[in-house]
Every structure is written in C-alpha cells, then in structure tokens.
Structure 1
Amino acid sequence: MSDTDSFIDEVTEEVRRDRLFVMLKRYGWIGGLAVVLIVGGAAFNEYNKAKELAAAQKLGDDIVGALAENEDAARAEALSTLTADTPGGAAVLAMLQAGALANADQSADAVARLEAIAVDGDLPLIYRHIASYKALGLQQESLSIADRRLQFEALAQPGAPLALLASEQVALLDIEEGNPEAAITRLKEIIADAGVSTDLKDRATQVIVALGGTLDDAAPAEG
C-alpha cells in the first residue's frame, strides 16, 4: 500500500469518526430516552404488581375479618362493606356475601347476587357457572323441576367447568320425577368420565347402589 493510499484511509476514518460524533450529539438522546423508557416501564410494572398484590392481601385480610363474625347476618353485613379492585375479586366477594345471606335465611337476596354474577359477560365462564349452580341450589323450593332441569342441563354441556356436578343434579331430578333408570344411566356416565373426582364418583356409586343398580355394566371411560 502506498503512502498516498494510507493517508487517504486515515482521512476517511477520521471523517467517519467525525460523522459518528455529530450523529451521537444530534440523536444520542434517542438512545438515552429508550433506556429511560425501558427501565421506567419495568419499574412501573413492578410497582403495579406490588400494588395489586398488596390490594389482594388486604382484601383477603378484610374477608377473613368479616367471616370471623359469629352471626350469619353480621357476616353478610360485614362482607357487604368490602370492595374489590378486580372483577374476579368482586365476583368472589359477592359469592361469599350470597353464602352468608343464604345462611341467614335471606335466600332471595343471595340468589339476586348470584344471578348478577351468572349473567356478567365480562367474567370468566367458571365464575358465571359457579354462581348459576349455587343460585339453582338455593331455588329447589321456588323453581319447578322443569326449570331446574333446563338450567342444570345447560351447565352440564360437555366441556363446561361444572359439567359433571351439574349432570349429577340432573340425575337427582330424574329420581325426583320417579325415573330411577334414567338417573342410573346418567350416574354411570359420570363415573366413567375420566375427569370425575373421587368424591363425586363415590356419591354417584352410592346412589346407583341405593337405587338397586349395579356397576359392572358402567360405560368405559373415553380415552
């Protein structure tokens, strides 16, 4: 390489450094701002997480305090003074209020709270189905068998969160209507389901035996 070429390379490199320096002076603040935003965003997320955790812990402590009341009516009143910051927390709180009201012989108010949860489309399906299931349980005397069957069958659809529990209730309605064969068939289907819990399986087995049925011809579980 000649001295001329070397000199040209040095000048070119110097020009590149000068341009880079100018660019950094002109636009370097963008990189700094990006770093600030990233760090600030992470700190904000951590703050929000800590705030949500603290709120959840406070709600839990408040609920425990309300449930410590000796009388059902007092528990319901104490729970009614609490508020939750999230839809899910509010739903759980409302279900606890409904339970306390039901125990205090205020079933109508309890059902109203549960049905409000059941029709709230902003809540996850599991919350709505639990509320609907509990509301139906409180209306055994006020709803006809046909009405209860219709609603329990809706909850018993395959894939629904409480499908097996709702199906058990439909079987009990079969018994109430004097149709033990239909009840036995449905209970065997529950027992054969791969997702059945031990407690539900035991209950279904006991009812089948009480109705004079046998388990040897129960349908096999689906693989």
Structure 2
Amino acid sequence: MANQNDSFIDEVTEDLRRDRLFRLFRRYGWIVLLAILGIVLGAAWREYSRSQHETRAEVWGDAILSAEQAQDRVAALSAVDPQGGAGRKALSEMLAAGFEAEAGLDQKAAERLKAAADAVKDDPVLRDLALLKAVMAAGPAMDAAERDRILSELSKAGAPFELLALEQKAVALIGAGRKEDAIMLIGQIQQKDGLSEPLRRRLSEMMITLGAEPERAEGPGPQSMPAPTAN
C-alpha cells in the first residue's frame, strides 16, 4: 500500500512538473525561439559578410594586377575602383607613385603619396608608410623643414616605421654634409631593438662610407640625447 501511495505521489509530482514546464514554455518560449533565430541569422550574416569581403578583395587584386600591365600604369592604377575601401585606394596610389618615381617624376610621386597619407589619417600604418615613401621619393628636393617635421613624427618611439624613419634622418644628415651628426644618429639607431638584418647592414655601410668603423656605433644610448635634425 505504501508503494502504491509513493508511486501515485511520484506520478502527480511528474504531472505537475510537466504542467509547470508547459506553462513556462507557453509564456517564455518565444524568447528562446527568438534567441535561437538570432544566433542562426547572426552566423549566416557573418558568413555572408566574410564571403562578400573576400570577393571584393579578389576583384580589387585582379584589377591592380591588370592595371600594372597597362600602357599607362599610373593612370590605370589611379582609376582602379577601391571597392569602397580607403585603404585600398591608398595602396593603389602608392603603387602609382612608385611607377612615377621610376619614371623620374619624383616630385609628383611625393605629392601623390602625401595625398594618399592624408586620405587614411585614421590608419596609422598606411598613413606613416605613405609619408615615409613620400620622403624617400622626394629626396633632397623636399623642403628641409617639411622633411624634418615628417621624419620627427614618423620616428617617435613605437611608431610603425620608427627605425626606417631614423635611417632617413641619417640619410638627410649625410646629404646636408653633417657627418658627425650622422655618425652619432646611426650609432643610436644601431643600439635599438628590432633592427632587421638588411637595415643593420645598410647602417654599417653608411658608417664605413662616412669613414667610421661600424663599431663606433657603440656610442650614447638611444635615450641619452635627441636625434639631430637635418636642418
């Protein structure tokens, strides 16, 4: 008899539990369904967006390759549709400037690069790369004050192209005939972390060209004094 009572109580409890769950589902089930639907739609949208991004990148890449084979490569590269991306437009302008520099149009290349940098102010890597290339393209023809201003900004600690900008400062000092300042700056650069092997080699070659032994780079540390400007 006790077993029958226990079984009856268990059945009633189970029925009550099912009834309670059913009422909860009727009241809140739509929230669960909406959450599931949101997850499914979100995943589908992310996949669609990724596919669209890859497609646009492929189309843009094919257009760049085609433009580089055109008779007027500068005009063709400038006309490439960036597919709505300011970064892509800046990259195509940098490529166009490279061909202008190859043709001896250094000043035009520099102006194009500065314009490209101005168009991607919110992207520090692309902006700094375009400005650095502008300095390199213009060379000694760039106004000394403008060059020093640009290189001072690009060579700040932690900047994306800090070491390359410092190298260009040294090149400018050499061009200005300031041999000792150039040797001192090269020495400071050589003590910095993160030097690539090509950059290390170029710095050593500059030291030798200046008549100093490469080991003379063991001078004041990079924080001991500010790098000289080329003015």
**What's the TM-score, normalizing by structure 2?**
0.81
Judge conservation of contact 2:90–2:120 (CA < 8 Å) in 1: no
Give how far 1:215 is off. 2.3
RMSD of equivalent CA atoms: 2.6
Residues 59 and 143 (structure 1 numbering): CA distance in 2 closer, same or farther, change over 3 Å?
same
Q: Which residue of structure 1 lines up, in the alignment, with residue 56 of structure 2?
A: 55
Judge conservation of contact 2:110–2:134 (CA < 8 Å) in 1: yes
Give how far 1:76 is off. 1.3
Runs of 4+ residues over 6 Å off in structure 1: none
Q: Which residue of structure 1 lines up, in the alignment, with residue 65 of structure 2?
A: 64
Q: Which residue of structure 2 lines up, in the alignment, with residue 158 of structure 1?
A: 157
Hey, what's the Cα distance between the residues in 1 that align with 2:109 and 2:216?
Answer: 41
29-38 or 205-214, which deviates more: 29-38
Judge conservation of contact 1:171–1:187 (CA < 8 Å) in 2: yes
Please, which of 72, 75, 78 is the counterpart of residue 76 of structure 2? 78
Hey, what's the Cα distance between the residues in 1 that align with 2:202 and 2:111?
Answer: 30
Aligned pairs for 1:1-223 (under 5 A) are: 7-69=8-70, 71=71, 74-84=72-82, 85-104=84-103, 106-107=105-106, 109-120=108-119, 122-219=121-218
Percent sequence identity is 37
- The AA in structure 1 aligned to 2:20 is R
SS of residue paired to 2:139: coil
Hey, what's the Cα distance between the residues in 1 that align with 2:155 and 2:212?
Answer: 23
**What's the TM-score, normalizing by structure 1?**
0.84
SS of residue paired to 2:217: coil
Residues 122 and 23 (structure 1 numbering): CA distance in 2 closer, same or farther, change over 3 Å?
farther
Query: 1 or 2 for the larger relative contact order (CA 8 Å, sep ≥6)?
Result: 2
Residues 153 and 57 (structure 1 numbering): CA distance in 2 closer, same or farther, change over 3 Å?
same
SS of residue paired to 2:34: helix
46-55 or 29-38, which deviates more: 29-38
Hey, what's the Cα distance between the residues in 1 that align with 2:79 and 2:172?
Answer: 38
75-84 or 2-11, which deviates more: 2-11
- Aligned positions, number: 219
Judge conservation of contact 2:140–2:175 (CA < 8 Å) in 1: no
Hey, what's the Cα distance between the residues in 2 that align with 1:178 and 1:192?
Answer: 23
Judge conservation of contact 2:190–2:200 (CA < 8 Å) in 1: yes
- The AA in structure 1 aligned to 2:41 is G
SS of residue paired to 1:138: helix
SS of residue paired to 1:83: coil
Give how far 1:141 is off. 4.9
Residues 112 and 181 (structure 1 numbering): CA distance in 2 closer, same or farther, change over 3 Å?
closer
SS of residue paired to 1:43: helix
Hey, what's the Cα distance between the residues in 2 that align with 1:31 and 1:102?
Answer: 62
Judge conservation of contact 1:79–1:97 (CA < 8 Å) in 2: yes
Which sections of structure 2, spanning at least 5 residues, go unmatched? 223-231
